[in-house]
Amino acid sequence: MGGTAAGAFAVAAAAAYVAILLLLVPFGAHRMLLLWRRLGKPARPASSRWEGPLPVVTVQLPVYNEANVVARLIDAACSLDYPPERLEIQLLDDSDDETSRIAAARVAHWRRLGRRIEHVRRGGRQGYKAGALAEGVRRARGDFFLVLDADFVPRADLLRRILPPLSDPRVGMVQAAWSYLNTGSGWLTRAQELLLDAHFHIEHEARYRSGLFFNFNGTAGMWRRECIEGAGGWRAATLTEDLDLSYRAQLAGWRFVFLADVDVPSEIPMGMSAVEVQQARWTQGGVQTARMLLPRIWRSRLPLALKAEATAHLAGHAVHPVTLLLGVALCAVAFSGLGREWLPGWLHAFGLAAATVPFVAFAATAGVLRGIPLRRLPRRILEAMALGIGLGVPLTFAVLRGATLRDTPFFRTPKRGSRTVRRYRVPQRAAAPAALRAVLGGSLCGAAAVLVGRGALGTAVLTALFAAGYVATTWELFRGERVDPEENQEGDVDEEAYGQRLGPAPRRRVRIQAPVREKHRPAEEQPGSAAA
């Protein structure tokens, strides 16, 4: 009876392993398709000159309990190079700690210097960030809205560089890329940097060059008021109000522009708990948005290629459960005693390639595009792979929440800033993801040893990579939990590297009608875009 059970388990393990590898193939193929689009499509020109009188611009700064960075944010926003009479700044402050006191002092300082800045207090967090932005739009006089999250530190010339593409009346939003102030803080920030660079400089750029839908990233982007209101406005129906409004706006016919050569410095989360909170919010909100908007996308008259890419984009978080199941299957394969008669060598090689080659190609290309020295690139890719694998467990739970729950609290990502005023704790989450990841990490270490002893080196390498991802992220989480929550620490944010001048700017009139001396060229019309 025992032999029969063991044989059945071995057969089930082999079948599950093969099935999961096959499930990975479309995700890898989509990644390679994006890479081909990024490298094979020419860059799309956008207007680099604003024609006519400068518009009124509203800079929106949504914050909630950001004592460590709120002063830096206000100073940077008030130092933007734009005529003061055509610039208004809204600090949309839902805080319930000393953030509001710190902010009030900086707001008063800049008002004395002649800046038009409003400190908006709603008295509650109805609708979270979406609710704050909607309230700001209602009160604003601007025709365009630049949104900056609390951990972003724009350079003074940001408005001069991001506004010109909006001279095309068909353009509803312009997204800038992100750069990072604190990537020298350890492997965790370096891994996030590479993953985010791949998102912006491959995914965004590929979709933009191909005339496909892409999304506003919640910050470092400028919206046209008419686009926001015409698409139905900000709403808190999902945890990713940015993704939701982006797709509704593009479904309504608006074009988006991505400026890869314009970047806004920002702070990357430096602790594993903060990383998980941020990634889980993005994942859960992405699944919620997919559930709400995919039926509408498929009912529309959009080209099939655009519908397919929108589906791959919005449903892309399904890769997390598949990745988790692959880790479980690797354990099952190792401990079931399967021999070569069940899993031949070529299948092990296929499994290793299916799980790693598309990711490595994607990350390597992003690293090259962003100028990472080749000698450092292998380590950076391994760090990014370890983080991606380790996040697979908590993000699987986020996928399940997004697929089943409607109302979930909005947990914002804690920031440290250049000097920590308050050490914010990440809200307590369920212990199951952390426990499951730790158990899988230990099991996969044993599984890798078993596979090496059996001579299945290809699968052993893949298993060891999964083990490293689970163990490294578990250790980072454990290490972070040991820090005293009231400890006053200095952050590792390097503002000097960006030459930021965050003190009072001189009071002068600014002329930016022609920030770049280049003749206006409208963006090419692409199939599936609003211009087509």
Residue 57's φ and ψ, nearest 5 degrees, are -115, 135
Torsion, Cα 283 92 222 209, to 10 degrees, reads -10
Q: 339: alpha, beta or left, given left = phi > 0 and alpha = psi -120 to 50?
A: beta
Q: 253: alpha, beta or left, given left = phi > 0 and alpha = psi -120 to 50?
A: left
- H or E segment and range at residue 222: strand 221-224
Residue whose entry in the numeric block shows the structure tokens 């109302």? 407
The catalytic residue positions are: 94, 242
Counting Cα atoms < 13 Å in the Cβ hemisphere of 173 gives 31
Residue type, 511: R
In sequence order, the β-bridge partners of residue 121 are: 93
Helix locations, 375-494, DSSP H: 377-404, 432-454, 457-481
Residue type, 357: V
Q: Is the distance from CB of 426 to CB of 476 less than 8 angstroms? A: no
Rounded to an integer, what distance in angstroms lies between the CA atom of residue 430 and that of residue 408?
A: 14
- H or E segment and range at residue 91: strand 87-93
Q: Count of CB atoms within 10 A of residue 437's CB?
A: 24
- H or E segment and range at residue 263: strand 255-266
436: Cβ–Cβ under 8 A, 6 or more apart, which residues? 393
Rounded to an integer, what distance in angstroms lies between the CA atom of residue 145 and that of residue 356?
A: 40
Rounded to an integer, what distance in angstroms lies between the CA atom of residue 436 and that of residue 474?
A: 10
In sequence order, the β-bridge partners of residue 61 are: 91
Residue type, 468: A
Residue 517's φ and ψ, nearest 5 degrees, are -80, 80
Residue 386's φ and ψ, nearest 5 degrees, are -60, -45
Q: Is the distance from CB of 213 to CB of 207 less than 8 angstroms? A: yes
Residue type, 500: Q
Q: Running DSSP on this structure, what letter comes out for residue 378?
A: H
* Bridging pattern class, strands 255-266 and 171-180: parallel
Rounded to an integer, what distance in angstroms lies between the CA atom of residue 498 and that of residue 15?
A: 53
Rounded to an integer, what distance in angstroms lies between the CA atom of residue 40 and that of residue 3?
A: 55
Can you list the positions of beta strands (E) in 101-195?
A: 117-121, 144-147, 171-180
